């Protein structure tokens, strides 16, 4: 299978080249040249297959000749062996036709582990085969950084730099990044927002002189392999609830749109989805885009669901590319214009394509708090504030609806306690998390300082 850039000026590449590049050289995002199709029989069989087997099958479809089926099975088995639940991403019923998809049973208690543990195995395999080393750079609003540090800590092929917004993530999220003790990891506390961190990382990838000196890649959801890994839990959960014989609805709390786009990927592969509800907090760029047809950046507001405090959703470019009929020239025009002005208007034909598939809903802080309290009161469930955003945004069930539970409540104890009066406990294996020493490097949101640091760290 080949992968093309959403902006059309980069040559098509194979799976491993897309994996290692992260961002396409023309500034676009990689997508498959054509969407593979799963038969109804194959989709139905996922209901009873072990999670790692489904992940290996989906990986093999997209990797093609770049990865043998045996290698895909080995990497998927190793990736999910560390998850605390045998089902990896289990479903928990809340009410008739309403389910939680628990995505937080990985090593850092967040859905990012599902993709990152697999990516680490893929990077190690590819880089070892090529006898190469690479510097990975990630901007994080909280969970991506911790998942990346856990997955890549100690690697002799990868050096990892994580940028996070100082003071805008929870202490538990921060410690998953800063307390690994790994010499191949650097955590930069940036004075600014996640959008500032993300803009710095995108500028790194656009700096051709820097990339000649220091081979770089990204493990944010700009990386196609992240998206395909996350599409797997849509396929398995839907099959367990009766797909493809009946469509399943999903409610996705999102900031950067990667998790929601993974649901769209599952749809393009043949999964019948009744609706993807995109749930945002007060940083509602996506909810406004689907409601009004204008994708417009706003000021980032700090909330109790900080992983969603984002006003530039990188993966929306992938969806726009699909919605405008894969017109790369139009996508390039729109997103270069958005970078300059902070706004773009979705064409009417594209809006007509998106309307039956997506609905955007923004949730207030009061609604988030109320949803946490209601989940405990009605179902005995402690949920984190990101999951609560999705619960508050969930439409009235019209058939099976799956709400994505993206983080363990113990990652956000202050918010959960304020809403419920209960303090969620960390799992026993993390009992010493707050006793581990941290290593943090403060940094201004300054590109010159960052690029100098990257050069030095990559060369070390």
How far lies 401's CA from each of 97, 111, 230, 385, 396, in Å?
6, 18, 18, 19, 9
Q: How confident is the model at residue 206 (pLDDT cuts 50, 70, 90)?
A: confident
Hey, what domains does the chain have and what are their CATH numbers? 87-110+226-420 (3.40.50.1100)
Q: Among candidates 420, 448, 432, which has minimal Cα distance to 210?
A: 448
Q: Among candidates 123, 297, 117, 341, which has minimal Cα distance to 198?
A: 297
Q: Is 332 a catalytic residue?
A: no
The strand pair at 3-5 and 30-32 is best described as: antiparallel
Cross-strand pairs, 136: 160, 217
Q: Among candidates 163, 156, 210, 211, which has minimal Cα distance to 184?
A: 156
Q: How confident is the model at residue 208 (pLDDT cuts 50, 70, 90)?
A: confident
> Distance between CA 429 and CA 446 in Å, rounded?
38
The structure tokens listed for 341 are 């002005």
What digits encode the pLDDT tens for the residues 20-50?
Answer: 988 899 999 999 999 999 999 999 999 999 9
What digits encode the pLDDT tens for the residues 112-139?
Answer: 999 999 999 999 999 999 999 999 999 9
> Distance between CA 445 and CA 375 in Å, rounded?
39
Q: How confident is the model at residue 149 (pLDDT cuts 50, 70, 90)?
A: very high
Q: Which of 112, 275, 332, 411 is labelled catalytic?
A: 112
Question: Is 323 strand, coil or helix?
Answer: helix
Residue 402 has pLDDT above 90, yes or no: yes
Cβ atoms 409, 424 nearer than 8 A: yes
Cβ atoms 246, 273 nearer than 8 A: no
How far lies 134's CA from each of 5, 21, 56, 126, 444, in Å?
22, 10, 24, 11, 25
Q: How confident is the model at residue 220 (pLDDT cuts 50, 70, 90)?
A: confident
- pTM beyond 0.85: the answer is yes
DSSP 65-114: GGS-HHHHHHHHHHHHTT-SSTTSS-EEEEETTEEEEE---STTSBTHHH
């Amino acid at each position: 299978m080949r992968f093309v850039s959403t902006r059309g000026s980069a040559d098509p590449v194979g799976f491993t080249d897309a994996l290692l590049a992260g961002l396409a050289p023309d500034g676009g995002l990689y997508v498959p040249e054509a969407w593979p199709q799963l038969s109804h029989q194959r989709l139905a069989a996922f209901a009873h297959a072990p999670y790692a087997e489904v992940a290996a099958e989906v990986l093999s479809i997209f990797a093609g000749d770049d990865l043998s089926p045996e290698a895909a099975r080995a990497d998927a088995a190793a990736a999910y062996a560390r998850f605390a639940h045998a089902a990896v991403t289990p479903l928990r019923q809340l009410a008739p036709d309403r389910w939680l998809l628990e995505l937080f049973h990985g090593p850092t208690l967040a859905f990012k582990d599902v993709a990152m543990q697999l990516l680490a195995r893929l990077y190690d395999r590819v880089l070892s085969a090529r006898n190469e080393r690479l510097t990975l750079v990630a901007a994080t609003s909280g969970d991506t950084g911790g998942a990346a540090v856990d997955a890549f800590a100690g690697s002799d092929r990868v050096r990892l730099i994580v940028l996070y917004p100082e003071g805008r993530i929870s202490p538990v999220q921060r410690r998953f990044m800063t307390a690994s003790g790994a010499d191949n990891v650097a955590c930069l506390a940036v004075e600014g927002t996640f959008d500032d961190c993300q803009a710095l990382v995108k500028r790194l990838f656009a700096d051709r002189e820097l990339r000649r000196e220091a081979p770089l890649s990204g493990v944010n959801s700009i990386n196609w392999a992240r998206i395909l890994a996350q599409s797997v839990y849509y396929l398995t959960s839907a099959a367990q609830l009766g797909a493809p014989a009946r469509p399943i609805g999903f409610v996705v709390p999102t900031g950067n749109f990667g998790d929601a786009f993974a649901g769209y990927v599952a749809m393009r592969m043949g999964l019948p989805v009744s609706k993807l509800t995109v749930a945002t907090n007060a940083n509602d760029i996506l909810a406004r885009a689907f409601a009004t047809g204008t994708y417009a950046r706003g000021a980032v507001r700090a909330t109790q669901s900080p992983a969603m405090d984002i006003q530039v959703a990188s993966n929306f470019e992938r969806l726009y590319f699909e919605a405008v009929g894969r017109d790369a020239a139009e996508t390039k025009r729109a997103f270069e214009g958005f970078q300059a002005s902070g706004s773009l208007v979705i064409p009417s034909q594209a809006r007509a394509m998106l309307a039956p598939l997506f609905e955007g809903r923004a949730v207030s802080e009061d609604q988030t708090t109320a949803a946490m309290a209601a989940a405990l009161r009605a179902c005995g469930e402690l949920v984190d504030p990101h999951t609560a955003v999705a619960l508050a945004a969930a439409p009235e069930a019209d058939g099976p609806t799956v709400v994505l539970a993206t983080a363990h409540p113990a990652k956000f104890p202050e918010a959960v306690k304020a809403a419920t009066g209960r303090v969620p406990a960390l799992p026993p294996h993390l009992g010493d998390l707050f006793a581990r020493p941290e290593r943090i490097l403060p940094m201004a949101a300054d590109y010159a300082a960052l690029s100098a640091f990257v050069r030095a760290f990559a060369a070390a």
